[in-house]
Amino acid sequence: MPLVLEGHNKSMYFKKDARLYLIIAVFFLIGATLIGRLFYLQIMQYKVYAALSEKLHQTDKALVPMRGEIYVNDGGTMYPVVVNKDYYLAFADPREILEDQAFVNAISTILKISPDEQQNFLKKIADKNDPYEPIKKKVEVDAMVELKGLGIPGLYFTRESYRMYSEKGLGGHIFGFVDSAGSGKYGIEGYMDKELYGIEGYARNIQDVFGSTAAAKDYENKKTIDGENIVLTIDKSIQYKSCEEIRIGVEEFQATGGTVIVMDPSTGKVIAMCSYPDFDPENFNKTESLNYFNNPATFYAYEPGSIFKTITFAIGLDLGKITPKSTYEDTGEVKIIGLKPIKNSDLKAHGIQTMTETLEKSLNTGAVYVEEKIGDDNFRKYVEDFGFGRATGIELDSESLGNISSLSKRGQIYSMTASFGQGITITSMQFITAFSSLINGGNLMKPYIVDTILRETEIVSETKLQIVRQVISEAASSMITNMMVSVVENGYSNKAKIEGYYVGGKTGTAQVAGSEGKYGNETIHTFIGFAPAYNPKFTILIKMDNPKKFDFSSETATLVFKNLAEYILHYYNIPPEKEIEKK
């Protein structure tokens, strides 16, 4: 008999049926959503989540490249002056030490640990929960091998690379240093940090869910590219002698500091550069003042004084406004309306003087006379063409520009005082570069101190000579050269004479302006000279800061120049040019 549903029983049956369908529909939708989401994650977003998974499970270890080394020239061969050396850090794991006193006794003699250090170390290793306690840095390989051979429980070593500056007193200002973070600071280390540092690499490992390292066959490790080696133009022997002479000069003449630069005037190549006091790049953190890190040859600008007269006279010669024999009348002063008159340093009037005699006597009034003949606009243009007021571009960190902005001010007084080296500032590097153009035929050369860059033994780049511009003519160069030879032979610079050779040059004694712009008692003494005069192989600039023993550079910087120039002439085996006078 068929089942018949009547009344509320029938209604209840359909409600249960509807709920069942609803539950099935809900589960179907949930299932469809999960399938769709899995499709999206596994198919559409596969690369994103694969990368995230890789990031969670892979470990990258940075690989630091070996820093490039720095070389100088030593008789035609490369001589390493900045190198990398491996030492070892000795450390202990106190948890593994069997007996503390026996451990300390076993290592103290070889590691040269003092009694006080031994007692201090015993206190540190008493904590047996301490897994690491450093003992000593810079352990030599021989000591490390000897201690390892003893098989002392709890003693370990790890290798560390240090930057070593092998030649002390060779000129820290040239090299700079590498800080604790591995970055080059100052000098070549700072200027060429990118080339010296190299390119980092990495080693990639994959870890499983338990943290164990798994093979990473599908991943590439990036190899390091070691830093490039830098070969400098510096001659090791001349550098040593330069550093020695400037140190002796500073101490002898009671100066606060001094700088020497030796340059090949025909190329702009820096042969030597040294300042005193210097600093030790290996122990830079022990340097008394941060100011010692700045290279005085390129960083500190100063009023040059009378050495700038050579520039003024060269401009006048080049424009045809004067000749070595043309004359003016020196009345002892130049009057300027509303201002103090400009006077000679000796406060005397010398009457009729040729231009050569004017330079020999270093007359301020003569320099003003020449500048007036040149004209302010021409004077400013030539000063700029000589490279003043801008960087030379030498490969050293932190080069100053100097300041010649006063030449753009209204009023002739600014060009007048600049004609004899007051009211403008220059660096020693700027001046020796400009001066060298006076004696090399008139070409301003770009100075350089980096000769070649090597990757291992392969030349990456080699510095090529660069003529920035021709500033004066060959004829003007020849005339100013003759005039400067006469200055040494007959003028205030005669203490720079070297027996058997013609030498040219000029002294400069400049007052130092204080913070308010007024000149005080401090002075800067400079001598710049060259030899052999008619085929110059070197230009030397000597600068001495506030020497107290003598008032003029003819008594200080000139003598330092003579000693160094004699050495270089003999070092280069340059035969005498003239007959040596019999005594």
CATH of the domain at 478: 3.40.710.10
Q: Is 166 strand, coil or helix?
A: coil
pLDDT score, position 34: 60
Indicate whether 249 and 150 sit together in one domain.
no
Q: Is residue 17 part of a domain?
A: no
pLDDT value of position 6: 47
pLDDT value of position 289: 80
pTM of the model: 0.84
Question: What pLDDT shows up at residue 292?
Answer: 85
pLDDT average, residue stretch 25-36: 60
The domain boundary residue, chosen from 132, 160, 188: 160
SS (H, E, C) 413-436: HHHHHHCCCCCCEECHHHHHHHHH
Residue 129 sits in which domain range?
A: 114-160
Coil/strand/helix, residue 479: helix
Domain count, the chain: 2
pLDDT higher than 70, residue 42 = no
Say yes or no to pLDDT of 155 above 70. yes
For 315-374, the pLDDT digits (tens) are 999 999 999 999 999 999 999 988 899 999 999 999 999 999 999 999 999 999 999 999
Per-residue pLDDT of 463-491, as tens digits, reads 999 999 999 999 999 999 999 999 999 98
Domain assignment present for residue 353? The answer is yes
Residue 112 pLDDT: 94
CA 450, CA 396: separation in Å to the nearest integer?
9
Cis peptide before 277 (omega within 30 of 0): yes
The predicted structure's pLDDT at residue 55: 45
Looking at residue 209, what is its pLDDT? 52
Amino acid at site 244: E
Closest CA to 407 of 429, 423, 428, 385: 423
Across the range 515-529, mean pLDDT stands at 88
**Same domain for 444 and 342?**
yes
Q: What mean pLDDT is predicted for residues 276-289?
A: 88
Q: Residue 8: inside a domain, yes or no?
A: no
The bridge status of strand 70-74 relative to strand 229-235 is parallel
CA separation for the pair 274, 518 (Å, rounded): 30
Lowest mean pLDDT among 111-115, 188-192, 288-292, 363-367: 288-292
Query: Per the domain annotation, does 248 fall within a domain?
Result: yes
Residue from 273, 249, 271, 245 nearest 261 by CA = 273
249 and 151 in one domain?
A: no
* Domain-located, residue 198: no
What integer pLDDT is reported at residue 51 of this predicted model?
A: 44
Asked if 327 and 469 sit in the same domain, the reply is yes
Cβ atoms of residues 442 and 167 within 8 Å = no
Statement to judge: residues 246 and 154 lie in one domain: no
Instruction: Assess whether pLDDT exceeds 50 at residue 1.
Output: no
Residue 315 lies in a domain: yes
Of 145, 160, 175, the residue at which a domain comes to its end is 160
What is the structure's pLDDT at 31? Answer: 61
Of the candidate ranges 46-50, 426-430, 504-508, the one whose mean pLDDT is the lowest: 46-50
Whether 502 and 364 map to the same domain: the answer is: yes
pLDDT of residue 122: 93
For residue 538, give both structure tokens: 């070197």
Predicted confidence at residue 13, as pLDDT, reads: 45
Claim to verify: residue 293 and residue 435 sit in the same structural domain: yes
Residue-averaged pLDDT of the chain: 88
Is the same domain home to 468 and 553?
yes
435 and 549 assigned to the same domain: yes
Does one domain contain both 153 and 270?
no
Say if 53 falls within a structural domain: no
- Given 104, 135, 160, which residue is the final one in a domain? 160
Tokens of 277: 């006091």
- Do 417 and 510 belong to one domain? yes
Residue 536 lies in a domain: yes
